[in-house]
Amino acid sequence: MKYRSMIIKSKIPQVSIDIDNKKSLHETIGYCDSGEIYAYLIDDDSNGTNLRKKPNGEIIYVLKTQNGNVEFSLSESKDSWFKITKIDTYDDAIEPIPDECWIHGSLIGAQLRNYGGQPIALYKTPDATQIAFTIYEQDVILSFNTMCGSDWVQVNHRGELGWIQSEWLCGNPVTTCP
């Protein structure tokens, strides 16, 4: 399947920041740029999955498809909601979606790519400075909480939140990722 995804970049003004060495850059500035990450539908609600006009806003589309049959390209997040830039399905036909719609992070996720069984560290912030916890299992599906650019995703694993580098996530529901 060929993907053509739109990346939305935010312009960031240049700023001079006095960084406290005990804090990460993310903790200091509290800002993440937009980017592009991939996830798939993990919602098993037989009534469908609501897509909204804005985070927690009006429902503009109900996606009626099977759990795991839908892949999303996501460009930004806000308060656990993710902006969808593209939807692909594997078995079901769907109507074209509006130019801008949002989905809650608890309804989307990705599989951990530790195919060799290696432990994967999740961090307290979107950098590799402080480990929050480590996942030792394989074939783990993680739901999304927020994203930071194209490189970091905050995920939920058994009720714990941690940041993971997006290269360790496979957003394809039907095959493994290289």
Per-residue pLDDT of 102-137, as tens digits, reads: 999 999 999 999 998 999 999 999 999 999 999 999
> Could you list the residue range(s) of the whole structural domain that residue 97 is in?
33-170
Question: Do residues 72 and 87 touch, judged by C-beta distance below 8 A?
Answer: yes
- Has residue 6 got a pLDDT over 90? no
Sorting pLDDT into bands at 50, 70 and 90, what band is 17?
Answer: very low
Long-range CB pairs of 63-67 (<8 Å, 24+ gap) are: 63/87, 63/94, 64/92, 65/41, 65/89, 65/91, 65/92, 65/94, 66/91, 66/92, 67/41, 67/42, 67/43
* pTM tops 0.85: no
Residue 3 in any domain: the answer is no
Q: How far lies 129's CA from each of 23, 89, 126, 151, 164, in Å?
A: 9, 37, 9, 15, 12
Question: Do residues 22 and 92 touch, judged by C-beta distance below 8 A?
Answer: no
| Average pLDDT of the segment spanning 44-65 | 92
Residue 23 in any domain: the answer is no
The confidence score (pLDDT) of residue 30 equals: 60
Residue 66 in any domain: the answer is yes
Residue 11 in any domain: the answer is no
Question: CB-based contacts of 55: which residues, under 8 Å, 6+ apart?
Answer: 78, 79, 81, 102
Sorting pLDDT into bands at 50, 70 and 90, what band is 33?
Answer: confident
- For residue 106, report the phi and psi dihedrals to the nearest 5 degrees: -70, -15
| Average pLDDT of the segment spanning 39-55 | 93
Residue 177 in any domain: the answer is no
- Has residue 24 got a pLDDT over 50? no
Residue 15 in any domain: the answer is no
Burial of 14 (0-12, 13-18, 19+ CB in 10 A): exposed
Residue 12 in any domain: the answer is no
The confidence score (pLDDT) of residue 99 equals: 73
The count of structural domains within the chain is 1
Question: Do residues 162 and 155 touch, judged by C-beta distance below 8 A?
Answer: yes
Residue with tokens 């995920």: 155
- Has residue 83 got a pLDDT over 80? yes
| Average pLDDT of the segment spanning 93-100 | 74
Share of the chain above pLDDT 70, in %: 80
The confidence score (pLDDT) of residue 16 equals: 35
Average per-residue pLDDT for the chain: 83
> Rounded distance, CA 174 to CA 139, Å?
13
The confidence score (pLDDT) of residue 67 equals: 67
Residue 141 in any domain: the answer is yes
